[in-house]
């Protein structure tokens, strides 16, 4: 006998009840066969840091950027590594970027960027320009006997050095200043501003002026081996064509 309460249900309710029971049975069978589905993991967003981590340094793209974005190789052979420096009986150990020769405006204070990711191993934050009398003595000494390493270091003016993951050292010279917060041990990413174009280490700076702005950029693959050593200007240009990748 059908209970009195059920006799008041309409036929459609029986159909709905049957569908619910069928769905419950199918779900139970599927769970037993394949196991319970796991929810998709939530997306994790890593915040961008203002300075590069050691891991980011190691993953730096191959090739160097120009130390001033948009620059090109110096048009003058005199501004390439290996060019003679008669006043000190030596040769240039790097690229010299000047206004009108680098393809971009290059005035005093122009930002300079890390050509590759790496770690800062030198940052002349508290730099003091040589006084005029000491400058005269220095020029006389290098003109007579050539410049030793200590004198060359003085002639580069304010500097920042960056060691890249492959062990090379990028040397920036004649800077007017360094980026605020930059110090030895800082990790920098490719394209990060590290300093500013200046004229430190030159007669113009000794005289207290800001004219004659330039950037010295040297690439050292060893303690006594700089990029371009022993090469002609043509050979330097050919090698640099694959060394620099932009921007």
135 phi and psi angles, rounded to 5 deg: -65, -45
- Could you give the CA distance from residue 178 to residue 165 in angstroms, rounded to a whole number? 22
Residue spans per domain, the chain: 54-246
Q: What is the mean pLDDT of the chain?
A: 83
Per residue in 131-144, pLDDT (tens digit) is 999 999 999 999 99
pTM above 0.95, yes or no: no
Topology given in CATH for the domain delimited by 54-246: Glucose Permease (Domain IIA) (2.70.70)
Residue 166 has pLDDT above 70, yes or no: yes
Per residue in 217-239, pLDDT (tens digit) is 999 997 779 999 999 999 999 99
Under the phi-then-psi rule, with left for phi > 0, alpha for psi from -120 to 50, and beta for the rest, what region is 213?
beta
Cβ neighbours of residue 111 under 8 Å, at least 6 residues apart? 68, 193, 195, 196, 197
Q: 200 is written with which tokens?
A: 């430190």
Per residue in 107-154, pLDDT (tens digit) is 999 999 999 999 999 999 999 999 999 999 999 999 999 999 999 999
Q: 231 is written with which tokens?
A: 């090469």
- Could you give the CA distance from residue 115 to residue 94 in angstroms, rounded to a whole number? 14
Averaged pLDDT for residues 24-48: 38
């Amino acid at each position: 006998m059908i209970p009195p309460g059920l006799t008041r249900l309409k036929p459609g309710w029986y159909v709905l009840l049957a569908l619910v029971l069928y769905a419950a049975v199918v779900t139970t069978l599927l769970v037993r066969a394949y196991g319970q589905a796991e929810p998709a993991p939530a997306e994790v967003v890593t915040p961008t840091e203002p300075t590069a981590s050691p891991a980011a340094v190691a993953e730096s793209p191959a090739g160097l950027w120009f130390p001033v974005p948009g620059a090109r190789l110096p048009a003058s052979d005199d501004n390439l590594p290996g060019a003679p420096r008669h006043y000190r009986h030596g040769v240039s150990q790097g690229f010299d970027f000047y206004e009108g020769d680098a393809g971009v405006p290059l005035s005093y204070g122009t930002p300079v960027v890390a050509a590759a990711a790496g770690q800062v191993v030198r940052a002349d934050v508290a730099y003091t320009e040589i006084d005029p009398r000491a400058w005269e003595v220095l020029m006389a000494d290098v003109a007579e006997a050539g410049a030793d390493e200590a004198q060359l270091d003085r002639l580069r003016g304010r500097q920042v050095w960056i060691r890249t993951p492959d062990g090379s050292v990028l040397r920036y010279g004649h800077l007017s200043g360094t980026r605020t917060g930059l110090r030895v041990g800082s990790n920098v990413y490719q394209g990060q501003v590290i300093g500013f174009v200046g004229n430190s280490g030159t007669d113009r700076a000794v005289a207290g002026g800001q004219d004659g702005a330039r950037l010295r950029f040297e690439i050292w693959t060893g303690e006594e081996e700089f990029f371009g050593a022993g090469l002609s200007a043509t050979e330097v240009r050919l090698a640099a064509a694959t060394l620099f990748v932009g921007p």
